[in-house]
C-alpha cells in the first residue's frame, strides 16, 4: 500500500491512508487475530460473511424499480 504526499499535505495523506485501511479491512483483521478463535466460532463467522457478500451481490445485480 503506497500513499503519496503532495505539497507536504500530511493531513490529506493520513485521510487517504485511513480510507484505504478501512476499505481493505486491515483493522478488522488485526482485531480478529489478537485472540484465539474457536473453530466453531470461526465457521459461524465465515458463513455470516459469505451470506453478507451474497446479499450485497444480489443488491448490485437486481435492477432498480421506478
Asked if residue 3 lies in contact with residue 19, where contact means CB atoms within 8 angstroms, the answer is no
Assigned domain for 3 exists: no
Cα angle 50, 30, 55; round to 5: 15
Over the stretch 36-64, which tens digit does the pLDDT of each residue have? 999 999 999 999 999 999 999 999 887 77
| 48/65 Cα distance (integer angstroms) | 28
pLDDT-derived band at 8 (thresholds 50, 70, 90) equals very high
| 14/60 Cα distance (integer angstroms) | 30
Range of the domain at 20: 10-61
Asked if residue 11 lies in contact with residue 25, where contact means CB atoms within 8 angstroms, the answer is no
The reply to whether the predicted model has a pTM over 0.85 is no
Over the stretch 26-39, which tens digit does the pLDDT of each residue have? 998 999 999 999 99
Domain count for the chain, please give it: 1
Three-state SS at 6 = coil
Assigned domain for 33 exists: yes
Amino acid at each position: 500500500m503506497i500513499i503519496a504526499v503532495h505539497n507536504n499535505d500530511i493531513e490529506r495523506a493520513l485521510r487517504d491512508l485511513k480510507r484505504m485501511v478501512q476499505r481493505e479491512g486491515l483493522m478488522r483483521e488485526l482485531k480478529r487475530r489478537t485472540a484465539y478463535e474457536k473453530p466453531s466460532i470461526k465457521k459461524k463467522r465465515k458463513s455470516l460473511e459469505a451470506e453478507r457478500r451474497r446479499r450485497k451481490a444480489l443488491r448490485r445485480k437486481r435492477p432498480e424499480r421506478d
